[in-house]
């Protein structure tokens, strides 16, 4: 029997799964497709790491490893929902909850090495055995043109800008080589006195693989940050930091700590020795510092110094003004690919402590991609906000297969302990890459295999041909890695028929302006980018175009022939869970799941000739478009339609479409009584779903909710459940 794997993840997508997956299972079964679950949630990943220490009844399999192996097979058909890319505070909270549920897990501090496999984005690199094809579906784009989202009004006098380093950062210091032959290299540190320390003792590289090394200077970083704190204060604008501390799980928390210490420079000048000795270096955010001060004898005194720093420093952008949660409180609260587009959409402003929007200095220390955001800001300042009713689209073809580029660099990123050199050394002793470094610098290497690069170029050409859109490779001639990639792109483009296609290579800044100019004219442009820019662009442009990146279609054609279908970006929405607990209203929009599911069914048609799956896919697309046009997407407000109501209406419209189609009489006959039952009881079911709202609910856990309790909350109407479950009989 054919199988679709539906991933169990975290937070809002997990809650939505309890409501949507029974519908998916029932409809898929009519095409002979089984829908299985694999648990790659944060809680599930933690338990898998310690399976050897848990009793038999508590053991869980390593579902992520299983899916990683499956992704390398032609049979793979995986629907991947957003998961938590855990920061240390999130990890500790999940561990505490599991301990309270009876799991004998060690504290984080006692098993850091094992927990390191769970911190950050360890999920996506394992599953992404193919490159990324993300685009706005036509139905979604048409809907937005009819019902545009609100865009903040830009002022030509806006003081909002990006601040980034001009030198001595990752971009400036990068070196890149292509391996002539397969080899296993060593990364080592050679101190000024000649002492050698192996940082990574065995790094296998394939022939043709790109290996890069670079570092960011701690001294230059600190000088830059102090200047930005001063600048924000002088200009009377908000100070905000924009990082990816969950994905760049080694480098960015360290940089985040530098930012916190720079903002509170006076506090660290006075109490720094004591704070650092207590581990309160800012890398886990200001909230962790405040929590840690309780353990210090003079904690109240130091807390007063931090409060004074907040009062006298530049105003901070806020994550939650009502609760006093600043941009510097938790590293995972402000993620650049979501925070920067949201700021640009809101007049280039962020929220201040008075819950008002204000111009902002967006501090992005490394300059590799900062210019992309500055270019859009400059364009909005000159030309005003974009118009969703007329603007074009910027789909993306992203190089991400097999841990390509920076997002696969965690195990090759190091904080330097002493002045000296870092070297990447071949097995024959040749030094491939070398940097002079100082204590405190952050050095990293990253890899990009040749096969994914070839596949990336092929995918870009195919998408340009199929869509009729011009395609632009975003490659920076000032970056060593991008110069290397440019040479390979030019080489591999020669393997394809590009006659009549418009394919260019531009720097990210030039490519951004090119794309922006075109979308203002209503024209479409494919951005062909590396891994990090893939992540940034597939939030930046969709948030401007569609109001959210969750409405993107995200297809990963796996290199072995299978398919990975991601349910859009947009994170796992912790605030949505909070609203469910307080008001029993889930505003998470499952549109991304609907779009991914249709492509998953279509994959079964294209690879295994399952015509019923193809009919399910086409009917689902039509149902999704009707759902949008009938405004049955979740509302943000309690007492109005929420995620569960949206699932009900999707099931109704989907059953209608399957009943009315004429390609498969058996399917039409199967769904006719289902459609009749859903439509005849629609008013009652819809009202019952809304009536469930307005009161607190108990999910039995946040990271590991109770199966029984959560199912009751997310499937509260027996009449609807009985109709859906009848399809399985």
pLDDT at 188 over 70: yes
User: In a 3-state reduction of DSSP, which class is residue 20?
Assistant: helix
**Rounded Cα gap, residues 480 and 729, in angstroms:** 60
> What is the overall mean pLDDT for the chain?
95
- Does 636 belong to an annotated binding site? yes
- Does 80 belong to an annotated binding site? yes
Q: pLDDT digits over 656-703, tens only?
A: 999 999 999 999 999 999 999 999 999 999 999 999 999 999 999 999
User: In a 3-state reduction of DSSP, which class is residue 484?
Assistant: helix
**Rounded Cα gap, residues 260 and 257, in angstroms:** 5
- Does 571 belong to an annotated binding site? yes
Per-residue pLDDT, 84? 87
Cross-strand bridge partners of residue 177: 211
Work out the number of other CB atoms within 10 angstroms of the CB of residue 540.
27
| CB of 361 closer than 8 Å to CB of 228 | yes
Q: pLDDT digits over 367-400, tens only?
A: 999 999 999 999 999 999 999 999 999 999 999 9
Backbone angles phi, psi at 420, to 5 degrees: 155, -140
Handedness of CA 697, 700, 704, 710 (dihedral sign): negative
- Does 315 belong to an annotated binding site? no
Cα–Cα distances in angstroms (integers) from residue 14 to residues 288, 700, 709, in the given order: 27, 14, 13
User: In a 3-state reduction of DSSP, which class is residue 31?
Assistant: coil
| CB of 391 closer than 8 Å to CB of 519 | yes
Backbone angles phi, psi at 145, to 5 degrees: -65, -35
198, two tokens: 């192996």
- Does 123 belong to an annotated binding site? yes
**Rounded Cα gap, residues 169 and 222, in angstroms:** 12
- Does 127 belong to an annotated binding site? yes
Q: pLDDT digits over 453-511, tens only?
A: 999 999 999 999 999 999 999 999 999 999 999 999 999 999 999 999 999 999 999 99
Cα–Cα distances in angstroms (integers) from residue 61 to residues 40, 73, 707, in the given order: 10, 20, 18
pLDDT at 570 over 60: no
pLDDT at 119 over 70: yes
**Rounded Cα gap, residues 11 and 170, in angstroms:** 33
Burial of 245 (0-12, 13-18, 19+ CB in 10 A): buried
- Does 134 belong to an annotated binding site? yes
Q: pLDDT digits over 255-292, tens only?
A: 999 999 999 999 999 999 999 999 999 999 999 999 99
- Does 576 belong to an annotated binding site? yes
Q: pLDDT digits over 309-324, tens only?
A: 999 999 999 999 999 9
- Does 589 belong to an annotated binding site? yes
Cα–Cα distances in angstroms (integers) from residue 276 to residues 254, 257, 283, in the given order: 13, 11, 11
Average pLDDT over residues 355-368: 97
pLDDT band at 572 (very low <50, low <70, confident <90, very high): low
Per-residue pLDDT, 332? 83
Cross-strand bridge partners of residue 564: 78, 556
Per-residue pLDDT, 512? 98
| CB of 606 closer than 8 Å to CB of 119 | no
| CB of 161 closer than 8 Å to CB of 377 | yes
- Angle among Cα 408, 414, 418 to the nearest 5 degrees reads 165
Per-residue pLDDT, 60? 92
- Does 479 belong to an annotated binding site? no
Average pLDDT over residues 583-600: 95
Q: pLDDT digits over 83-106, tens only?
A: 988 888 899 999 999 999 999 999
347, two tokens: 């007049």
Per-residue pLDDT, 154? 96
Backbone angles phi, psi at 351, to 5 degrees: -85, 140
pLDDT at 249 over 90: no
Q: pTM of the full predicted structure? A: 0.85
pLDDT at 405 over 70: yes
Cα–Cα distances in angstroms (integers) from residue 428 to residues 189, 201, 308, in the given order: 18, 14, 57
Largest CA distance in the chain: 82
**Rounded Cα gap, residues 423 and 406, in angstroms:** 18
Per-residue pLDDT, 476? 98
Handedness of CA 275, 84, 91, 711 (dihedral sign): positive
- Does 534 belong to an annotated binding site? yes
- Does 122 belong to an annotated binding site? yes
- Does 371 belong to an annotated binding site? no
The closest alpha carbon to 529, from 499, 558, 505, belongs to 505
Burial 478-487 (b: 16+ CB within 10 A, else e): ebbbbebbbe
Per-residue pLDDT, 495? 97
Question: Residues 6 or more apart from 604 whose CB is under 8 A from it?
Answer: 2, 4, 31, 33, 77, 610, 613, 614
Q: Pairing relation of β-strands 238-241 and 357-363?
A: parallel
- Does 82 belong to an annotated binding site? yes
Average pLDDT over residues 340-346: 95
Per-residue pLDDT, 88? 87
Per-residue pLDDT, 400? 93
270, two tokens: 């006075």
**Rounded Cα gap, residues 727 and 729, in angstroms:** 6
**HEC secondary structure over 412-457:** HEEECCCCEEEEEECCCCCEEEEEEECCCCEEEEEEECHHHHHHHH
Looking up tokens 């607990």, which residue turns up? 581
Per-residue pLDDT, 571? 61
Q: Dihedral through CA 375, CA 376, CA 382, CA 387, nearest 10?
A: 160
| CB of 120 closer than 8 Å to CB of 86 | yes
Average pLDDT over residues 605-627: 96
The closest alpha carbon to 335, from 117, 508, 544, 85, belongs to 85
| CB of 461 closer than 8 Å to CB of 503 | yes
pLDDT at 406 over 90: no
Q: pLDDT digits over 664-674, tens only?
A: 999 999 999 99
Per-residue pLDDT, 138? 84
| CB of 612 closer than 8 Å to CB of 664 | yes
- Does 329 belong to an annotated binding site? no
pLDDT at 71 over 80: yes
Per-residue pLDDT, 53? 92
- Does 428 belong to an annotated binding site? no
**Rounded Cα gap, residues 395 and 331, in angstroms:** 29
Average pLDDT over residues 549-557: 87
């Amino acid at each position: 029997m054919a199988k679709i794997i539906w991933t169990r993840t975290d937070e809002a997508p997990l809650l939505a799964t309890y409501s949507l997956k029974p519908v998916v299972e029932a409809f898929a079964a009519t095409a002979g497709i089984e829908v299985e679950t694999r648990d790659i949630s944060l809680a599930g990943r933690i338990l898998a790491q310690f399976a050897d220490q848990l009793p038999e009844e508590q053991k869980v399999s390593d579902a992520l490893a299983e899916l990683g192996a499956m992704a390398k097979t032609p049979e793979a058909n995986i629907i991947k929902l957003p998961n938590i890319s855990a920061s240390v505070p999130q990890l500790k909270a999940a561990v505490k909850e599991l301990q309270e549920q009876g799991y004998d897990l060690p504290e984080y501090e006692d098993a850091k090495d094992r927990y390191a496999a769970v911190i950050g984005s360890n999920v996506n690199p394992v599953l992404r055995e193919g490159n990324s094809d993300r685009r706005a579906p036509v139905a979604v784009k048409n809907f937005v043109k009819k019902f545009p989202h609100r865009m903040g009004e830009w002022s030509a006098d806006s003081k909002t800008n990006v601040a980034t380093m001009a030198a001595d950062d990752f971009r400036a210091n990068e070196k890149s080589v292509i391996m002539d032959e397969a080899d296993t290299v060593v990364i080592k540190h050679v101190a000024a006195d000649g002492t050698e320390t192996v940082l990574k003792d065995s790094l296998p590289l394939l022939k043709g693989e790109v290996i890069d090394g670079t570092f960011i200077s701690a001294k230059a970083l600190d000088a830059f940050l102090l200047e930005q704190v001063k600048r924000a204060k002088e200009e009377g604008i908000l100070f905000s930091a924009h990082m990816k501390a969950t994905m760049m799980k080694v480098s960015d928390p360290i940089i985040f700590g530098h930012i916190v210490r720079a903002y509170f420079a006076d506090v660290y000048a006075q109490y720094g020795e004591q704070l650092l000795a207590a581990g309160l270096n800012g890398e886990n955010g200001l909230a962790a510092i405040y929590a840690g001060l309780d353990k210090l004898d003079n904690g109240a005194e130091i807390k007063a110094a931090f409060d004074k720093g907040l009062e006298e420093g530049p105003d901070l952008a806020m994550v939650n003004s009502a609760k006093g949660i600043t941009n510097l409180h938790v590293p995972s609260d402000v993620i650049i690919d979501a925070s920067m587009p949201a700021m640009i959409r809101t007049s280039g402003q962020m929220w201040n402590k008075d819950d008002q929007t204000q111009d902002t200095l967006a501090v992005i220390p490394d300059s590799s991609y900062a210019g992309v955001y500055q270019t859009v800001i400059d364009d909005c300042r000159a030309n005003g906000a974009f118009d969703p009713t007329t603007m074009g689209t910027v789909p993306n073809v992203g190089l991400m297969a097999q841990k390509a580029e920076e997002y696969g660099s965690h195990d090759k990123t190091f904080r330097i302990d002493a002045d000296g050199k870092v070297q990447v050394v071949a097995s024959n002793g040749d030094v491939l890459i070398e940097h002079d470094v100082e204590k405190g610098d952050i050095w990293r290497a990253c890899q990009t295999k040749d096969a994914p690069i070839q596949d990336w170029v092929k995918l870009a050409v195919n998408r340009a041909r199929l869509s009729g859109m011009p395609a632009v490779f975003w490659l920076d001639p000032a970056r060593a890695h991008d110069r290397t990639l440019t040479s390979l792109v030019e080489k591999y483009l020669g393997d394809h028929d590009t006659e009549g296609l418009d394919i260019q290579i531009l720097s990210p800044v030039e490519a951004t302006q090119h794309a922006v100019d075109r979308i203002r004219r209503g024209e479409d442009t494919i951005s062909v980018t590396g891994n990090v820019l893939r992540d940034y662009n597939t939030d930046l442009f969709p948030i401007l175009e569609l109001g959210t990146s969750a409405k993107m279609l995200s297809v990963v054609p796996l290199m072995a022939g299978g398919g990975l279908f991601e349910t859009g970006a947009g994170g796992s929405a912790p605030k949505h869970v909070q609203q469910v607990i307080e008001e029993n209203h889930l505003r998470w929009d499952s549109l991304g799941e609907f779009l991914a599911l249709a492509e998953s069914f279509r994959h079964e048609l294209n690879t295994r000739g399952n015509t019923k799956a193809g009919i399910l896919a086409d009917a689902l697309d039509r149902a999704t478009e009707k759902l949008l046009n009938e405004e049955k997407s979740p509302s943000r407000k309690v007492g109005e339609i929420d995620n569960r109501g949206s699932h009900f209406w999707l099931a109704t419209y989907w059953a209608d479409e399957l009943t009315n189609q004429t390609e498969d009489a058996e399917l039409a006959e199967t769904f006719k009584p289902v459609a009749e039952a859903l439509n005849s009881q629609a008013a009652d079911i819809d009202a019952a779903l809304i009536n469930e709202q307005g009161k607190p609910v108990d999910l039995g856990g946040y990271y590991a909710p109770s199966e029984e309790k959560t199912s009751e909350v997310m499937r509260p109407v027996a009449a609807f459940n009985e109709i859906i479950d009848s399809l399985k009989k």
